[in-house]
């Protein structure tokens, strides 16, 4: 009644408030072309932020009528798409005002051109099937190519209830997305309602994602600064490889990690690796690219490969996503070819560059430079079983490869293979 009395709702041509009874009886729609309505709506949310709320899910925004009149006279046909931009803008700017620049985040469902300014987004009400899981990935990769940096989906599907099989496979996919949420319509998506193995799967991939947070947060900063999406179609990273042009069931998670979710009850993965020597991040096995791979995976496994000539910053904490990423970070270097270099930046939780890492190889010599490191760190030469000489650090053979611990205050490490 308050919004109606002040004229804050979209109206019909005869001046009545436009309303319908779907979802809520007598529901009206806020007219975000009215500055007073925007302020009124923001004030309502402001009270919730004062109570401790730090984000909002801006659900819907897409079912906007066209037989209406807007406060500022906007064309209702054009507003059918543009409405969601104004909706998310009001909420995002309120969060920025209350929480500070860099602290605002929505969980937005609808978007249009320019909506990437108000992250993050998810794919809406998918169905709990493998077909819908694949459709969700295709839609997300398309959104990324449209300029949206962060995208995810309802793990397990929203409509209906997934089988335990679909749920476990979707959990691996969902926890290797830019952000992750368990959500559904007719049942809770908590793993213990499926079976004990589902608990193991969600725990396993949650811990993996927490360990990958220094890398993922670095890629999130790239998305924010340059507009390159975190979940990238293969063609975006490998534009010269025609085999990547049509690939839509695998993706690059950031610049260096390839993910190929499994979309069938037989556990068979089929994916393509571009040229070069790729490394399974978990097992350490090497696979030569320029070819298709078909193989079986159990529920605790998914194709997760590291691009050659890459460095992945791996965190020390697998129990939560927000921690001091620079403290005891392990820079894992993969298949650095002669004449090539690899670099990365570890950011603080406030999004400030904290530690810079660069590795360059000339012949059999790798020179590693680390700047800004005020906390302990290590370097792991993945897949390297031994080295002939090291300066600036002590070397120790490890399960994943040679581990280098720098001398105190040392910023340069030189390794001879």
| Residue 248 designated active-site | no
Q: Which two tokens stand for residue 399?
A: 């399960």
What strand order describes the sheet that includes 151-152?
A: 56-58, 106-108, 121-122, 151-152
What is the rounded distance in angstroms from the CA atom of residue 383 to the CA atom of residue 222? 28
Helix (H/G/I), strand (E/B), else coil: 247: coil
Contact 309, 256 (CB under 8 A): no
Contact 87, 45 (CB under 8 A): no
User: Would you state the torsion angle of the CA atoms of residues 213, 216, 221, 224, taken in this order, to the nearest 10 degrees?
Assistant: -130
10 Å CB burial of residue 120 (0-12, 13-18, 19+) is: buried
Contact 267, 383 (CB under 8 A): no
Contact 156, 128 (CB under 8 A): yes
Q: Write down the catalytic residue from 59, 248, 280, 349.
A: 59
Sequence-distant (6+) residues with CB within 8 A of 415 are 365, 366, 367, 368, 381, 387, 389, 390, 395, 402, 404
Q: Which two tokens stand for residue 180?
A: 């992750």
Instruction: Residue 76: name the closest of 63, 65, 88, 86 by CA.
Output: 65
Contact 66, 77 (CB under 8 A): yes
Q: Write down the catalytic residue from 93, 96, 125, 165.
A: 125
| Residue 62 designated active-site | yes
Crossing angle for the helix pair 196-211 and 213-226, nearest 10 degrees?
A: 60
| Residue 59 designated active-site | yes
Catalytic residue ranges: 59, 62, 125
């Amino acid at each position: 009644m308050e919004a109606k009395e002040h004229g804050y709702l979209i109206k019909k041509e005869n001046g009545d408030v436009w309303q319908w009874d779907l979802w809520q009886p007598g529901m009206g729609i806020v007219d975000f072309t009215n500055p007073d309505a925007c302020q009124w709506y923001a004030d309502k949310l402001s009270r919730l932020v004062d109570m401790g709320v730090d984000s909002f899910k801006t659900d819907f925004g897409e079912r906007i009528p066209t037989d209406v009149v807007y406060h500022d006279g906007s064309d209702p046909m054009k507003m059918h798409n543009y409405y969601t931009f104004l909706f998310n803008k009001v909420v995002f700017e309120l969060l920025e005002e209350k929480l500070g620049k860099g602290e605002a985040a929505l969980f937005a469902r609808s978007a249009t051109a320019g909506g990437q300014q108000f992250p993050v987004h998810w794919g809406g009400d998918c169905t709990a099937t493998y077909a819908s899981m694949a459709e969700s990935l295709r839609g997300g990769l398309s959104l990324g190519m449209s300029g949206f940096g962060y995208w995810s989906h309802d793990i397990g599907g929203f409509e209906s209830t997934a089988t335990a099989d679909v749920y476990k496979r979707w959990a691996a996919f969902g926890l290797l997305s830019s952000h992750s949420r368990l959500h559904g319509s007719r049942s809770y998506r908590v793993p213990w309602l499926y079976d004990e193995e589902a608990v193991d799967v969600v725990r396993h991939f949650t811990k993996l994602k927490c360990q990958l947070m220094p890398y993922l947060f670095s890629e999130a900063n790239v998305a924010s600064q340059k507009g390159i999406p975190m979940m990238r179609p293969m063609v975006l990273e490998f534009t010269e490889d025609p085999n990547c042009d049509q690939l839509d069931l695998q993706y690059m998670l950031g610049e260096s990690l390839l993910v190929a979710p499994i979309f069938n009850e037989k556990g068979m993965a089929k994916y393509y690796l571009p040229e070069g020597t790729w490394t399974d991040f978990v097992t350490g096995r090497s696979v030569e690219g320029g070819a298709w791979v078909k193989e079986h995976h159990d529920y605790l496994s998914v194709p997760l490969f590291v691009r050659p000539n890459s460095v992945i910053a791996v965190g020390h904490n697998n129990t939560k996503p927000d921690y001091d990423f620079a403290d005891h970070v392990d820079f894992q270097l993969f298949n650095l070819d002669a004449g090539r270099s690899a670099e990365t930046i570890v950011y603080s939780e406030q999004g400030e560059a904290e530690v810079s890492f660069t590795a360059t190889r000339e012949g059999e010599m790798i020179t590693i430079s680390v700047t800004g490191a005020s906390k302990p760190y290590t370097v792991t030469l993945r897949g390297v079983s031994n080295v002939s000489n090291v300066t600036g650090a002590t070397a120790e053979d490890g399960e994943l490869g040679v581990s280098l611990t720098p001398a105190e205050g040392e910023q340069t490490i030189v390794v001879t293979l």
